[in-house]
Structures are given as C-alpha cells and as structure tokens.
Amino acid sequence: MLLVYSVFFAWRANLDISRPLLLGVVERFWIQSDAVVCVLAGLGLTTTHAELERRLGFGGVWKTTGWALTVALLAQMVRTNHR
C-alpha cells in the first residue's frame, strides 16, 4: 500500500518544487507515507520485543535496547532534517 501511494503521489504531484510554496505542499504530502512507516516500525519493534522476551527472557534488556534504538533513530532524523 505504501509503495502504491508513493508511486501514485509521485506520478500526480508534478509540481515545480523550485517555488517555495509548491515545495511546502509536496513536503507535507510526503509526511503521510512517513507516518505509515513509523507506525509499522513501532508495531514491528513491539512484536520483536515480545518474541525475544518469550523465547530468550531478559525482558529489561530487550526493552532498553528498543528504547536505545528508538532514540538513536530519532536523533539521526533530527540531525538529517535540521535546517
């Protein structure tokens, strides 16, 4: 679904991004697909955490690792997108 949305949006959003107003419009629509990816990543992390805890134990270690991974990804996103 994400791939279909991205391809359809890229096909239909043939706006001139050299103009700041149209660039802002395009940037806001790309956030929608990013939101879907974030939700799916969170569900995957939760499922992975539950499975690792069930199979191997050490619940606190997996929870701490999950939080560290989340904070690292957020820091990378801020570093990449900060203007």
pLDDT in tens, 51-75: 888 888 887 887 888 889 889 988 9
pLDDT class for 83, splitting at 50, 70, 90? low
Residue 61 structural domain: 2-81
**DSSP H stretches of helix in the chain:** 2-12, 20-56, 59-81
In tens, the pLDDT along 30-43 reads 777 777 788 888 89
Report the chain's terminal Cα–Cα distance, integer Å: 31
d(CA 2, CA 37): 8
Name the domain count of the chain. Answer: 1
pLDDT class for 16, splitting at 50, 70, 90? confident
